[in-house]
């Protein structure tokens, strides 16, 4: 049986996926409009920003300037030509990343929403989901690991782009 809490968590997860899509689109658009930007590279940069953010998922609890600043820190060096395009290589597309995130197991979606979108403490997540503290701790770690694997192709052949310093 799906509870009201579960319905809300599902809605929050879908809203978060849309936020990721919007972020990727904004980066692609911004780079694509600069100096007759290369659309293929703009796509790669958008995915790179999302993958880096998924590697540090606590950023998703922020909105407004803190969130925008994180995006700027990741994309800015490429937009300002401070970083060489050749430093950025990706093995996956935005479509593959989105499909992977859409396939997230339900129990991990709940942990993603509580931990990284709402910013719940372990105790608050345990209370909200009626899980034990041990289960919440374990699933929070599993959710973070799941998000961190978003840039690894299904065949495991390559790792996602190397991180850019904050």
pLDDT in tens, the chain (166 residues): 456 788 999 999 999 999 999 999 988 888 877 656 778 888 888 998 999 889 888 888 777 777 788 888 888 787 777 777 767 767 788 999 999 999 999 999 999 999 999 999 999 999 999 999 999 999 999 999 999 999 877 655 443 343 333 3
Residue 138 has a pLDDT of 97
Q: Which of 164, 67, 62, 43 is nearest to 118 (CA)?
A: 62
Which structural domain, as residue segments, surrounds residue 16?
A: 4-148
Burial class, 50, CB count within 10 angstroms (exposed 0-12 / middle 13-18 / buried 19+): buried
Residue 103 has a pLDDT of 95
Is 164 among the domain residues?
A: no
Residue 162 has a pLDDT of 37
Alpha carbon distance 125, 39 (integer Å): 41
- Number of domains, the chain: 1
Is 60 among the domain residues?
A: yes
Is 134 among the domain residues?
A: yes
Is 163 among the domain residues?
A: no
Q: What is the pTM of this model?
A: 0.81
Is 59 among the domain residues?
A: yes
Is 155 among the domain residues?
A: no
Is 71 among the domain residues?
A: yes
Is 43 among the domain residues?
A: yes
* Angle value at C-alpha 101, between 14 and 165, nearest 5 degrees: 110
- Output the six-digit token pair for 113: 């929403």
Angstrom distances, CA of residue 112 to CA of 23, 46, 57, 85 = 18, 21, 8, 32
- The phi and psi torsions of 154 (rounded to 5 degrees) equal -55, -35
Q: Which of 137, 128, 131, 101 is nearest to 17 (CA)?
A: 101
Cβ contact 20:120 at 8 Å:
no
């Amino acid at each position: 049986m799906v509870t009201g809490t579960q319905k809300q968590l599902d809605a929050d997860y879908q809203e978060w996926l849309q936020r990721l899509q919007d972020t990727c689109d904004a980066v692609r658009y911004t780079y694509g409009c600069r100096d007759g930007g290369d659309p293929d590279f703009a796509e790669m940069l958008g995915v790179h920003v999302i993958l880096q953010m998924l590697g540090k998922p606590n950023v998703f609890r922020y909105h407004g300037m803190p969130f925008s600043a994180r995006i700027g820190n990741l994309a800015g060096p490429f937009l300002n030509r401070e970083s060489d395009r050749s430093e950025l290589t990706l093995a996956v597309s935005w479509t593959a990343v989105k499909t992977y995130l859409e396939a997230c197991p339900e129990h991990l979606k709940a942990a993603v929403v509580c931990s990284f979108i709402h910013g719940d403490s372990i105790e608050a997540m345990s209370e909200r989901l009626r899980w034990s503290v041990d289960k919440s701790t374990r699933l929070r770690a599993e959710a973070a690991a799941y998000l961190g694997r978003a840039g690894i192709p299904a065949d495991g052949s390559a790792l996602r782009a190397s991180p850019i310093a904050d």
